[in-house]
Amino acid sequence: MMRNMAQQRVRIIGIARHRLSTDGDGVTTLVAFHGCPLRCRYCLNPQSLGDGGRFREYSPEQLYAETRIDELYFIATNGGVTFGGGEPCLRPQFIREFRELCGPEWQLNLETSLNVPSPNIEALLPVVNTLIIDIKDTNPDIYRDYTGQSNALVLENLRLIAEAGRQSDCIVRIPLIPGYNTDTDRDASRKALEALGFTRFDLFTYQIRKH
């Protein structure tokens, strides 16, 4: 079957090998995509925004060829590839085609805000192992103030994941963001997520760097 390669090429802002237990289990390679729907006040990867012309484009086959060099590490440690960004869930078909190439032995993880259309998440759930979700805050006003966007899609996708029974495959990051939310806000977010059946949380405080 012929693939439309023009549609299945993505810009990659970075590939980091030999990451150990930081982006999922075992040894992982972090693949960061260009493009994000959010405009967070303290963006960790501002290179993922704006013009991506300086970054290399990859097809699924090209990315597989570059990452398979570490296949023995992946299989021996229950590791694999973590897609981050930017927002990897903007490119579900690319990730699905990558899964076809690497097969079921690799762990595929997503670092995502979940602020994407629900069909994207529906397409990805069957092919990924772990979702590392940066929730920001479940309060709509706090979320909009910090990201510039509504969190309606985020909440819809959390419910979708819960209905699919995949809560245990998610690690939900609930940050304390100085100047935007409080410990009370964060506790409220956690309780809302626990009500949906999520149990794995990463609680931390953003370290704001002054430039």
CA distance 186 to 165: 24
Please give the helix or strand (H or E) that residue 160 lies within, else none: helix 152-163
Exposed / middle / buried, residue 40 (Cβ in 10 Å: 0-12, 13-18, 19+): buried
Please, which residues bridge with residue 27 across strands? Answer: 20
pLDDT in tens, 64-89: 999 999 999 999 999 999 999 999 99
CA distance 66 to 19: 16
User: Tokens standing for 112?
Assistant: 């995502």
What mean pLDDT, rounded, does the chain reach?
92
pLDDT in tens, 140-178: 999 999 999 999 999 999 999 999 999 999 999 999 999
Phi, psi of 66 (to 5 degrees): -80, -30
CA distance 52 to 62: 18
pLDDT in tens, 125-148: 999 999 999 999 999 999 999 999
pTM: 0.91
Q: Tokens 């670092």 sit at which residue?
A: 111
